[in-house]
Structure 1
């Protein structure tokens, strides 16, 4: 995982102190690491980290399912 993903991972771990790490392929939604109450705040953080606006009208839950997907879809793409 890239250094760019660290603020995302830290944000999740801060809200779940019982966890010490998050595997790249762990389902964040199924494991309730991102829930409906924190979803908008999470998307805002992702916008800040990636440096680009995220269109909520086309955003799907599957786009945020794992750290690996988030990195590939939003962070690596933002660099190129």
Structure 2
């Protein structure tokens, strides 16, 4: 079974076949790997793989800028 982070990477890479890797610190928004049209779909996927609900009314876009931040913010165990 793929890890949640790998599932997110695979989702992005599927939409950007010109890339073969995404560094953990690459700004996904600035580099247009996640744009305004795909953002909601990405958040939905993140909810599925993390098992956590994400309140769209309180989203901070900086939490979604890079895979390292996403992993830290949404994929590490709460506790």
Settle same-fold status: TM greater than 0.5.
yes
RMSD: 1.5
- The equivalent of 2:30 in structure 1 is 30
Equivalences, count? 78
- The equivalent of 1:64 in structure 2 is 64
Matches within 5 A, 1:12-27: 12-27=12-27
Q: CA deviation at 1:42?
A: 0.3
Deviation beyond 3 Å, 4+ runs, structure 1:
none
Q: CA deviation at 1:4?
A: 2.5
Of residues 66-75 and 52-61 in structure 1, the stretch that sits farther from structure 2 once superposed is 52-61
Q: Distance in 1 between matches of 2:4 and 2:52?
A: 14
Instruction: Return the TM-score normalized by structure 2.
Output: 0.93
Matches within 5 A, 1:2-17: 3-17=3-17
Q: Distance in 2 between matches of 1:9 and 1:76?
A: 16
